[in-house]
Amino acid sequence: MNAIARRQKHKAELKTQILEAARQIFVRDGYENFSMRKLAQRIEYSPGSIYLHFKSKEELFESLVEESFERLLKVVAGIQNGHAKQDPVESLKKGLRAYVDFGLRNPNDYRFAFMLRRPVQKRPYRVHPVFGVLRHMVGRCVEEQRFRAVDVESTSQALWAAIHGITSLLIQRPTFPWVGRKELIDQVINNAVDGLAVMPGSEEKATAGVRHAQFNRVPATSTARSRS
Amino acid sequence: MNAIARRQKHKAELKTQILEAARQIFVRDGYENFSMRKLAQRIEYSPGSIYLHFKSKEELFESLVEESFERLLKVVAGIQNGHAKQDPVESLKKGLRAYVDFGLRNPNDYRFAFMLRRPVQKRPYRVHPVFGVLRHMVGRCVEEQRFRAVDVESTSQALWAAIHGITSLLIQRPTFPWVGRKELIDQVINNAVDGLAVMPGSEEKATAGVRHAQFNRVPATSTARSRS
DNA sequence: CATTCATAGTGAACACTGTTCATTATACTG
DNA sequence: CAGTATAATGAACAGTGTTCACTATGAATG
């Protein structure tokens, strides 16, 4: 019994070793230049051995991406919980920014997860926890009446579209003459979020004591562009 | 002279024949299931012959996608010019919608151009003509003071991010429980554009006679979701 | 008409790819 | 030590993009 436990342990170790090696190749050579044979060579096993742990290249990547997403989830969830008493709109913005930053810092993971691989469409779609957090944040903004009475679901999806758009474009087209990265991200986020806030002037449901969201839109400047 | 002209004509015809066949396979089997050998078989030539007309699979796709985007450009430019007297904000929205529709109708082209292939980064970046039209439209909105005095460049980029976001997400994750497609697209576009319009209540530079943009935001509904 | 000659087209070959599977090596149990 | 379950292999399969020495074709020239 002890022996089989040691077996399993070794097997698990080998599996994570494969994952680590795979990630290295994946990051260094990119998705399209990854190959099972390269990976096998790196871990000094035969190609077939990998299939003792992962039933396909696809599944191997799936595991890799899952890992990455857990990191992203931690970052985003940390913002959600950590600043429970904080302004929900500010929390939301921070979360959105964290999302974009994560994508820019881990472009390969982001590319794989959201850009190149079409998700296997088996079983009813499992809504990703990261999106769940986003929706929760939006929900809080509405509950606390910092947002107009918008539909939480569609608003969350629209926000996701906005931040995914800027993230993937910045990753995919690094040589485009973008205006400053930071400013652009801020503009996208502020534009998307501030439009949802209760507007000064219109009373709607705004309760007394609830401060109105500032409209942090970027000022008009001459078409200044900095590097990517 | 006549003979070589006939030669060239035949060559050109063959080239377009290749492109047509390639497009069929490309559309039917998708980018990743396309193969030069399939194409060769379809046009009843040997695989090597294709390389007499295109120096790589990559270049072949480039031509294909170029064609597609020219169609989009025509549509968008048509909106820009055709309705010269029309409300520039409405023109802009129409253009944005046309962009999204194009992506959803030509997912393979869109994927190739904006999602999977990072553009070759030789020579100074050639800004895509479609983006040029978008920028022009934004410029008109600002000139005619239908928009606040925002920076045209960064605003155009932010708008691009928004529509690219919703387009690529809808393409990439068709099984996600999206709220209605049309409503979501409208929400994204309206949210992004209306936030830029001169706001009712704030006078800013709004000239007399210039109607204020309506705020076409989606109403609050119960979390109704329809299929993809 | 015969000969040259550029071009079009071929098909075999190269160096890869993901994946499978019969076979062998290994390590543990009775 | 024999038996057995599992780990690992290496060859094989069917495919990929691309190249290149070669041949077929058809027009232009002597």
Question: Domain containing A78 — which CATH number?
Answer: 1.10.357.10
- Residues B29, B140, single domain; the answer is no
Protein residue closest via CA to C1' of C20:
A48
Average confidence score pLDDT of chain B: 86
> Domain check: are A11 and A82 in the same one?
no
Note whether B162 contacts A157, CB cutoff 8 Å.
no
Would the Cβ of B10 be found within 7 angstroms of any atom in strand D? no
* Domain final residue, candidates B54, B70, B99: B54
* pLDDT at residue A110, rounded to an integer: 87
Tell me which residue in B115, B154, B165 faces A161 most closely, judged by beta carbons.
B165
Report pLDDT digits (tens) over A139-164. 999 999 999 999 999 999 999 999 99
Distance to chain B for A187, nearest Cα, Å: 7
Q: Which of A108, A115, A152, A191 to mutate to test the interface with B (most CBs of B within 10 A)?
A: A191
Is A150 close to B218, i.e. CB distance below 8 A? Answer: yes
Q: Could you say which DSSP state residue A174 is in?
A: T
DSSP conformational letter for A32: G
Between CA A211 and CA A131 the distance in angstroms is 27
Tell whether A8 and A118 lie within a shared domain: no
The enclosing domain of B18 has a CATH number of 1.10.10.60
- What is the rounded average pLDDT of the residues B167-192? 94
What mean pLDDT is predicted for residues B118-138? 84
Does A39 score more than 70 pLDDT?
yes
Distances from the Cα of B70 to the Cαs of B102, B106, B115, in angstroms? Answer: 11, 13, 18
In angstroms, the CA A180 to CA B32 distance is 34
Chain C nucleotides with an atom closer than 7 Å to a protein C-beta: 7-13, 16-22, 27-29
- Grouping H, G, I as helix, E, B as strand and the rest as coil, residue A33 is helix
> Which chain A residues have a beta carbon less than 8 Å from that of B188?
158, 161-162
Answer yes or no: do A155 and B187 touch at CB < 8 A: yes
Comparison of pLDDT for A67 and B224, the residue scoring more: A67
pLDDT band at A197; cut points 50, 70, 90: confident
Question: Is residue B28 located within the same domain as residue B130?
Answer: no
The verdict on a CB contact (< 8 Å) between B115 and A168 is: yes
Q: Do B161 and B100 share a structural domain?
A: yes
Residues B43 and B64 in one domain: no
A127 against B104, higher pLDDT: B104
pLDDT at A215 over 80: no
Q: How far apart are CA A96 and CA A84, in angstroms?
A: 16
- What is the rounded average pLDDT of the residues A15-27? 95
Angstrom distances, CA of residue A174 to CA of A171, A200, B118: 6, 38, 9
Give pLDDT, residue A124.
66
What's the rounded Cα separation, in Å, for the pair A196 and B217? 9
More confident residue, B5 or A225: B5
Nearest alpha-carbon partner for B95 in B196, B180, B193, B210: B193
Is residue B50 domain-shared with residue B10, that is, in the same domain? yes
pLDDT digits (tens, 9 = 90+) for A47-87: 999 999 999 999 999 899 888 888 889 988 888 777 666 89
Report pLDDT for B205: 42
At residue A213, the pLDDT reads 42
pLDDT score, position A126: 73
Determine whether the interchain pair B195/A199 forms a contact, defined as Cβ–Cβ distance below 8 Å: no
Residue range(s) defining the domain that contains residue B189: 57-228
Interchain CB contact of B126 with A (< 8 Å): no
Q: What is the pLDDT of residues B5-57, one digit of tens each?
A: 677 888 999 999 999 999 999 999 999 899 999 999 999 999 999 999 999 99
Is nucleic acid strand D under 7 Å from B37's C-beta? yes
Residue A48 CB closer than 7 angstroms to strand C? yes
How many separate domains does chain A show?
2
B64-108 tens-digit pLDDT? 999 999 999 999 999 988 766 689 999 999 999 999 999 999 999
pLDDT of residue B121: 65
Nearest residue to C7 via alpha carbon and C1': B7
Q: Are residues A48 and A112 located together in one domain of the fold?
A: no
**Predicted pLDDT of residue A31:** 82
Nucleotides on strand D lying under 7 Å from protein C-beta: 6-12, 15-21, 26-28
- How sure is the predictor about B120, in pLDDT bands with cuts at 50, 70 and 90? low
Confidence bin at A223 (pLDDT 50/70/90) = very low
**pLDDT value for B206:** 39
Chain B residues 19-78 within 7 Å (CB) of strand C: 44-49, 52
B62 and B46, same structural domain? Answer: no
Mean of per-residue pLDDT scores for chain A: 84
Kindly tell me if the per-residue pLDDT of A120 is higher than 80. Answer: no
B163 has a chain A CB within 8 A of its CB? yes
A148 and A198, same domain (yes or no): yes
pLDDT score for A227? 41
As a whole number of angstroms, the distance between CA B155 and CA B153 comes to 5
Instruction: Pick the range with the lowest mean pLDDT from A145-149, A177-181, A217-221.
Output: A217-221
Confidence of residue B228 (pLDDT cuts 50, 70, 90): very low
Q: Which residues of B33-59 are buried (b: 16+ CB within 10 A; e: fewer)?
A: ebebeebbeeeebeeeebeebbeeeee
Are A32 and A68 contained in the same domain?
no
Instruction: Give the pLDDT confidence score for residue B26 in this predicted structure.
Output: 95
User: Phi and psi for A222 in degrees, rounded to 5?
Assistant: -65, 150
d(CA A11, CA A225): 52
Whether pLDDT at A221 is above 60: no
Question: What is the average pLDDT across B144-158?
Answer: 95
What pLDDT score does A123 carry? 59
> In the predicted model, what is the mean pLDDT of residues B170-175?
91
Q: Are residues A78 and A41 in the same domain?
A: no
pLDDT for A116 equals 76
